[in-house]
Chains A and B, each alone.
Chain A
Amino acid sequence: MSGPIGKRTPYIEAVQKVTGQAQFAEDFHFSNMLYVKFLRSPHTHAKIQNINLSKAKKLAGVCAISIGRDLPIPFGVLPISPDETAMAVNKVRYIGEIVAAVAAESEKIAHEACSLIEVDYEPIRDFLEPDDSLIDCSPDEQIHSHSKNGTNVHKVAELYFNDPKKAIQNSDISCTRTFKFAGVTHGFTEPHATVAQWNDDETLKVITATQVPHYLQKYLSKVLEIPLHKIRVIKPVVGGGFGGKSDPFPHEIITSYLSIKTHRPVKCVFTREEVFISNHGRHPTKMTLSVGADKQGKITGLDTDIVIDGGSYGSFGVVTSYYNGVLLQGPYRINEFGFTTTRTYTNKPQCGAMRGHGAVNPRYAMEVIIDELSHSLKMDPCDFREKNFLPANTLTVGQLRITSNGVLDCLKAVREKSAWDERYGNMPDGRGLGIACGFFISGSALPINWNRYPQTVVHTKLDFDGRVVIFSGASDIGQGSDTMLVQITAEELGITMDRVQVEVADTKLTPVDLGSYSSRVTFMVGNAAKSSSIKLRDELIKTISKEKNIKPESIQFENNRIFTEDKSLNMSWDEGVEICLAGRGSIVTMGYYISPQLGGKFKGSGAGLSPSYSFGAFISEVSVDKKTGAVKVEKVWGAHDCGKALNPLAVEGQIEGSIHMGLGQAISEELVYENGQFLNSNFIDYKIPSTLDTPDMDVTIIESDDKEGPYGAKEAGEGPIHPVLPAIGNAIFDAVRVRMYELPITPDKVLRAIKEKI
């Protein structure tokens, strides 16, 4: 490739980010702007009997107040579980739920007005633990009236292929363990922020920190009852998401509503505590996993029972429930396979999608059990894994279509780089190595909303100035998708990246993209952008070949020049553009992506379907202080198969970031609940690793060249987190011979395990 594809490419907006010019949602100021603050519930579960706004309304500077019944239409990112309203209607379901909102001339006034609102509550029995939610209760006590059989169960997802229970029972060896995972949250540095502006022509403009402008547009339309074509959602520069900005949020809807009500721009910026309360993080999880194997180390079956604590609303929970199970179908061949996931409602902030969605906790469990099975068989855990890898181009038992697969190369790379064969099992007491593998989707093959549209469309515009502008709904949240679009377009047109610009994530200007979630953007939007720029190139070829009477297939594009091998044609890009646009002016081409038809015909067959899957293998080295139980992760070697690294700098960044985030969940991060609220909703007590806590990293990119990915590429943003946690857990075993079945692996737990063993 002669262009920027495959080259280490700094982000196109990097200079704006290092100079402070990059504008995030909270940086937008409009004249005459109002500020929103929220009154939040102090109760876990209570009926709202009365709301008295009279004192708050009288406060000077208060412009509008709204409450739940102003916006009663339910929504939710999944059309199958629209169980949330913008503000609590009739009852509150968690501490921190928004009960009322005030728009005022300043944040201070809005805040004060909230404290003047009087609400009478009648507490209802609350359900704080999933176990409580599984049992019957009276209809009055149910968190949501639609939950099943008089309980507070939100969803039971189960799939069974063949007879795993029997297969495990009949296996030479098996291992059954129960694991507990604390809830964790995204911890992006930019708090949620939204600025809404209702215009006199009755259109709504919303600038907001989101990963899903398209879905937000859809639900703003639904809840505010405004036609879709009057809503413009703009995603500015977004300060990280990791799944935490991938739902339409109450504050976005309320801020918009208050702008409509006041005819003034309205701004909402969350405090850090509000970000924690909003959560949508990884579900607290309890799971029992059984895996069987034969004497040769072949996995014979997998069966698991999982309970995930959803909190008060649905969010992505139905998908999470399935992902907890189905994504255990790789990277190992398992023909006897089954899982049941139960998602409960509890009176706590809701959980949702977070990097590695649904599959991170089960992956920990699976990889720890594989380690145990290898030990039982006295087999090297790397060899055990190697024996069980799925090949390329195969179907799993649940009919996930595996295409490119570089897992073996990943394993070989980290095994060699870490000197595993020499060092594993031979390290001094208190020091150890651990291995784990990973597997993740590269975009969900099925859209959240069933419709006949593609999953993404890209427009590419060429004009007289020689500039190419890409219009795409893709949401860059720091992962580098804008840069990826420019790289692809520059590559196909043989022009330098400075001639290509993006117009992105603006529902007025850009064609639909479903959003930055499920690791779909490089694969899907990349393909669409490539297809669109090829069409533009074809248009140039067609017109130039006609005008210059040259065979179309001989025309080449490189370094801002258009030429033939024999140089009978040798013109600048601008000359070519003039020929192409002669007599008609600016042109726009389009490309789109629709997933191929995939999957089986059974209920639940859609879960986990992806046009491609990523793979990885990570090894970590830890030292454990046996006296204090403190774990220090010394180094992590990570190899990830992303098909093809379109931008190795960005891919490395994703892997390194995954190591950091995985480390946090493994050893320090935990949302601690105290009677339904977080005890640690701040960055002092929620322990995100600092520079001093983050290990050395050695990253290897494996390129398995996916047939359907753009230039062979597939995802790199989420897959790399999966192996990180179990690689640490397994290394702790190698260091001090204790198995950690509970995350985070804090020093007290390690010490307890060491003491129990003695």
Chain B
Amino acid sequence: MSVKSYLKPQSVTDALIMAKTHANYLYFAGGTDIQVYLKQQLIKPDHIIDLSDIGELQNIASNDENISIGSMTTLDAISKNNSIYKDFPLIVEAAQSIGTPVIRKTATVGGNILVNNRCNFYNQSFGWRQAIGSCLRDVGDLCQVTKTSGKCFSRNVSDLAAALFCLDAKVIISNQNEGLELSIVDLYNQDGIDFHKHLDHDGILTKIILPIDAGSTWFKKLRIRNTLDFSSLTIAAKVYDNRNFRIGLNGVSMSPVLITGNLDMIDLEGIKSLARKSCKTVDNDMMPLKYRREMIDVYLDQWWVSIQK
């Protein structure tokens, strides 16, 4: 169970070399969430590659068309960045809804985008999982939520992802090949176990690029307390000047969910229906399933009211 080495690359190139030469490694961003996985023996890497010393991953740069955010920028830092605050208040709102103020000084943008999926029956200690009989994402062969085999419905809980979905963000990934640029939407799989795509060949999410584009945004996160809690439902939405809209939903399915359209083409009921169809929500959160589903509708209602003004 013990980690053999802790590596601190100074550049992305360094990190990729280390990844190539160390089998069973784990990239560490802020580590605020993944550390708990280590303690609970949910993951057992032999080597940790800590990306926090890599300066090039901590830059925020902007021009007239877009802002690029280094993946290792802390959530605290983006909340305090003037250009982000001016052009992307939605990002600030989403970032400030994550963790606690102290956690946000360590937790990173990239870490949140790639946060591990959660499930009540998985995010538990080793002893707990043993007593329940382990789930299929762990060493078992049965989903403990649905009591069936074959599919895991763990939830993606990235609040930033919901926001970035509706901002039509791009992400840059460096890997052992040439690297790639893709829409953030393409980063996720509707799969509770294999929930990220395009990170093979030791891929590192290095940058997030946000196109500057006018429009009105809306954000809401469902949770019991006003701090610390992971999302039970996050909805971020943006309406562009041409009445196109993008809605990002998260916390209610194996990946963030995107709904797009034009307000002249679809009504609220149509949007709700799309949302219901797109979310594979199961009872794996502290908030009851029925309630979380109801809240999707309620939040969309509230968003709808907000855009009528």
Q: How far is the CA of A668 from the CA of B287 in the complex (A)?
A: 11
CB-based contact B131/A692 at 8 Å: no
CB distance from B41 to the nearest CB of A (A): 10
Tell me the minimal C-beta distance from A281 to chain B in angstroms.
Answer: 18
Q: Does A687 interact with chain B (Cβ within 8 Å)?
A: yes
Contact of B228 among A273, A629, A681, A690 (CB under 8 A): A690
B200 beta carbon closer than 8 Å to chain A? no
B131 to chain A: which residues have CB within 8 Å?
41-43, 95, 677
Complex partner residue of A672 from B286, B290, B294, CB under 8 angstroms: B286
Q: Which of B105-113, B120-128, B191-199, B255-263 contacts A (4 or more CB under 8 A)?
A: B120-128
Let me know if A689 is at the binding interface, CB within 8 A.
yes
Q: What are 5 A-to-B residue pairs whose CB atoms are below 8 Å? A: A628-B295, A684-B229, A687-B225, A693-B227, A751-B294
Beyond A42-B131, A668-B224, whether A273 also contacts B286 by CB under 8 A is: no
Interface string of A664-683 (1 = CB under 8 A from B): 00001000101101011101
B286 & A685 in contact (Cβ 8 Å cutoff)? yes
Asked whether A680 lies within 8 Å of B298 as measured between CB atoms, the reply is no
Q: Which residue of B lies closest to A687 (CB)?
A: B224
What separation, in Å, do the CA atoms of A42 and B295 have in the docked complex? 36
- The interface residues of chain A lying within 8 Å CB-to-CB of B266 are none
Q: Write the chain A residue with the least CB distance to B290.
A: A748
What 10 additional pairs, Cβ within 8 angstroms, besides A42-B127, A42-B131, A685-B286?
A: A627-B301, A672-B286, A674-B120, A679-B286, A690-B228, A691-B227, A692-B226, A746-B224, A747-B224, A748-B288
Expressed in whole angstroms, the minimum distance between the Cβ of B16 and any Cβ of chain A is 32
Contact residues of A between 720 and 758, Cβ < 8 Å to B: 746-748, 751
A154 at the interface (CB under 8 A from B): no
Q: Which residues of B contact A679 (CB under 8 A)?
A: 120, 286
Contacts of A40 in B (CB 8 A): 127
- The reply to whether A748 and B291 form a contact with Cβ atoms under 8 Å apart is yes
For residue B10, CB closer than 8 A to chain A, the reply is no
A128 to chain B, nearest CB (A): 13
Cα–Cα, bound, A746→B294 (Å) = 14
> Which of A41, A627, A674, A690 sits near B298, CB closer than 8 Å?
A627
* Cα separation A95 to B128 with both chains bound (whole Å): 9
Is B302 on the interface with A (CB-CB < 8 A)? yes
Determine if B23 is an interface residue (Cβ-Cβ < 8 Å): no
B interface size (C-beta, 8 A): 26
Any A CB within 8 A of the CB of B132: yes
- Docked complex: B288-309 residues within 8 A CB-CB of A: 288, 290-291, 294-295, 298, 301-302
- Known contacts A273-B128, A668-B224, A685-B286: A627-B302 contact under CB 8 Å: yes
Interface size classification for chain A: 20 to 34
CB neighbours (8 Å) of A751 from chain B are 291, 294
- Interface of chain B residues 80 through 128 with chain A (CB within 8 A): 120-121, 125, 127-128
A693-B226 contact in complex given A627-B298, A627-B302, C-beta closer than 8 Å:
yes
User: Which of chain B's residues have a CB closer than 8 A to the CB of A685?
Assistant: 120, 286
Q: In the complex, which residues 621-669 of chain A have their Cβ closer than 8 Å to any Cβ of chain B?
A: 627-629, 668
CB distance from A610 to the nearest CB of B (A): 36
Q: Cβ of A748 and Cβ of B287 under 8 Å apart?
A: yes
On chain B, the residues within 8 Å of A692 by CB distance are 225-227
Cα separation A674 to B144 with both chains bound (whole Å) = 11
Residue of A at shortest CB range from B128? A677
A747 near B227 (CB under 8 angstroms)?
no
Contact A668 B127, CB 8 Å, known A627-B298, A747-B291, A748-B291: no
Interface assignment of B130: CB less than 8 Å from any CB of chain A: yes
Instruction: Give the complex CA separation of A41 and B288 in angstroms.
Output: 29
Specify which chain A residues have a CB less than 8 angstroms from the CB of B230 in the assembled complex. 684
In whole Å, how far is B257's beta carbon from the nearest beta carbon of chain A? Answer: 20
CA distance in complex: A748, B289 (Å):
10
Chain A residue with the shortest CB-CB distance to B2: A108
> Within 8 Å CB of B301, what residues of A?
627
- Is the pair A680, B286 in contact by a Cβ cutoff of 8 Å? yes
- B232: shortest Cβ distance to chain A, in Å? 10
The minimal Cβ–Cβ distance linking B86 to chain A, given in whole angstroms, is: 26
Docked-complex contact A687 and B291, CB < 8 angstroms: no
Residues of B within 8 A of A (CB): 120-121, 125, 127-128, 130-132, 222, 224-230, 286-288, 290-291, 294-295, 298, 301-302
Q: A273 — which chain B residues lie within 8 A by C-beta?
A: 125, 127-128
Check A668 against B225 for contact (C-beta < 8 Å): yes
Interface residues of A (CB under 8 A from B): 40-43, 95-96, 271, 273, 627-629, 668, 672, 674-675, 677, 679-681, 683-685, 687, 689-693, 746-748, 751
- In the assembled complex, the Cα of A580 lies from the Cα of B198 at a distance in Å of 86
Residues of B within 8 A of A668 (CB): 224-225
B222 CB to closest chain A CB (Å) equals 8
Minimal Cβ-Cβ distance residue in A for B125: A273
A681 CA / B224 CA spacing, docked (Å) = 16
Q: Which one of B225, B286, B291 lies within 8 Å of A689 (CB-CB)?
A: B225
Using Cβ atoms and an 8 Å threshold, which residues of chain B touch A746? Answer: 224, 287
Residues from chain A with a CB closer than 8 A to the CB of B132 are: 674-675, 677
A95 to B130 alpha-carbon distance, docked (Å)? 10
Most buried by B among A629, A677, A746, A747: A747
A628 to B297, CA, bound (A): 10
Q: A43–B132 Cα gap in the complex (Å)?
A: 9
Q: In the assembly, what is the distance between CA of A242 and CA of B185, in Å?
A: 48
Which B residue's beta carbon lies closest to that of A625? B298
Within the complex, what minimum Cβ distance (angstroms) separates B286 from chain A? Answer: 5
Cα A673 to Cα B120 in complex, Å, equals: 12
What residues of A have a CB within 8 angstroms of the CB of B127 in the complex? 40, 42, 96, 273
Q: Which 10 A-B pairs have the closest CB atoms?
A: A748-B291, A692-B226, A42-B131, A690-B227, A687-B224, A95-B131, A748-B288, A668-B224, A693-B225, A685-B286
Asked if A687 and B229 sit within 8 Å, CB to CB, the answer is yes
Which residues from B are CB-within-8-Å of A672?
Answer: 286
Select from chain A the residue with minimum beta-carbon distance to B132: A675
Closest to A40 in B: B127
Nearest chain-B residue to A39 (Cβ)?
B127
B306 to chain A, nearest CB (A): 13
Question: Are B128 and A684 touching (Cβ within 8 A)?
Answer: no
Which residues of A sit under 8 angstroms from B294, Cβ to Cβ?
A: 751
CA–CA, A681 to B286, complex, Å?
12
State in angstroms the CA–CA spacing of A161 and B294 once bound together. Answer: 48
A680 CA to B295 CA in the complex, in Å? 22
Q: What is the bound-complex CA distance between A708 and B85, given in angstroms?
A: 63
Distance between Cα atoms of A96 and B302 in the complex (Å): 44
CB distance from B96 to the nearest CB of A (A): 12
Which residues of B lie under 8 Å from residue A747 when comparing CB positions?
Answer: 224, 291
Provide the bound-state CA to CA distance between A748 and B298, in Å: 12
Residue of B at shortest CB range from A684?
B228
Residues of chain A within 8 A (CB-CB) of B290 are 748
Chain B residues with CB under 8 Å of A675's CB are 132
Contacts of B226 in A (CB 8 A): 690, 692-693
Q: Could you tell me the distance between the alpha carbons of A110 and B62 in the complex, rounded to whole angstroms?
A: 53
Measured in the bound complex, the distance between the Cα atoms of B226 and A748 in whole Å is 17
Separation of A662 and B94 alpha carbons in the complex (Å): 31
Contacts of A684 in B (CB 8 A): 228-230
B128: chain A residues within 8 A (beta carbon): 273, 677, 681
Instruction: Compute how far the CA of A506 lies from the CA of B301 in the bound complex, rounded to whole angstroms.
Output: 62
B17 nearest CB across to chain A (Å): 31
Q: Which residues of B contact A680 (CB under 8 A)?
A: 120, 286
Residue from the set A629, A683, A685 with the largest chain B CB neighbour count within 10 Å: A685
Bound Cα distance A689, B130 (Å) = 30
Assembled-state Cα–Cα distance A679/B131 (Å)? 12
Contacts of A691 in B (CB 8 A): 227
Scoring B224, B226, B227 by chain A CB atoms within 10 A of each residue's CB, the highest score goes to B224
Interface centre among A684, A689, A691 (most CB of B within 10 A): A684
In the complex, which residue of chain B has the Cβ closest to the Cβ of A679? Answer: B120
CA distance A299 to B132 in the complex (A): 49
> Whole-angstrom distance from the CB of B173 to the nearest CB of chain A?
30
State in angstroms the CA–CA spacing of A616 and B259 once bound together.
53
What is the minimal beta-carbon distance from B118 to any residue of chain A, in angstroms?
10
Bound-state CA distance A96–B228 (Å) is: 27
